[in-house]
């Protein structure tokens, strides 16, 4: 039994986070920059410790996906006992929509100092076009 001293609407008295399934998932992407420069869409992403041969970059339907993972382990044994063990796993997984249509046949990517730089030329159909204005003909 609940006792109410004020005639509050039911919507205000329900718990605020009652249906968590309806709330969108909040994600944060650090280390990813997307901008336009000189007719290209440029994407820079932090990929610390991941060499170029361990990166997988795909583009489909306006979505760019960057994935990379590297594993390293080291173990030292003395007299059949482990005295030192080290394991390092480093991974990145970025997915972003590109702001403009691009020419997917001319995408270029390179890694330098832990940053992958991807340059994709903006598609000709997406570039601004100048429209000529004509004088109307009187009838």
Mean pLDDT of 75-101: 83
Distance of alpha carbon 125 from the chain centroid: 25
Six-digit token string for 90? 């480093």
Backbone angles phi, psi at 63, to 5 degrees: -115, 130
Class of domain 27-124: mainly beta
Q: How far is CA 117 from CA 58, 64, 101, in A?
A: 14, 13, 18
Q: What is the pLDDT of residues 96-106, one digit of tens each?
A: 999 889 999 99
Percent pLDDT > 70 in the chain is 79
| CA pseudo-torsion sign 92, 95, 99, 102 | positive
């Amino acid at each position: 039994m609940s006792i109410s001293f004020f005639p509050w609407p039911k919507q205000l008295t329900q718990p605020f986070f009652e249906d968590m399934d309806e709330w969108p998932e909040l994600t944060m992407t650090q280390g990813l920059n997307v901008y336009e420069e000189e007719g290209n869409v440029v994407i820079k992403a932090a990929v610390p410790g991941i060499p170029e041969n361990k990166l997988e970059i795909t583009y489909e339907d306006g979505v760019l996906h960057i994935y990379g993972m590297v594993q390293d382990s080291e173990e030292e044994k003395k007299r059949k006992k482990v005295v030192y063990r080290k394991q390092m796993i480093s991974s990145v997984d970025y997915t972003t929509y590109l702001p403009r249509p691009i020419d997917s046949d001319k995408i270029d990517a390179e890694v330098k100092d832990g940053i992958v730089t991807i340059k994709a030329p903006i598609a000709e159909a997406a570039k601004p076009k100048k429209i000529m204005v004509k004088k109307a003909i009187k009838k």
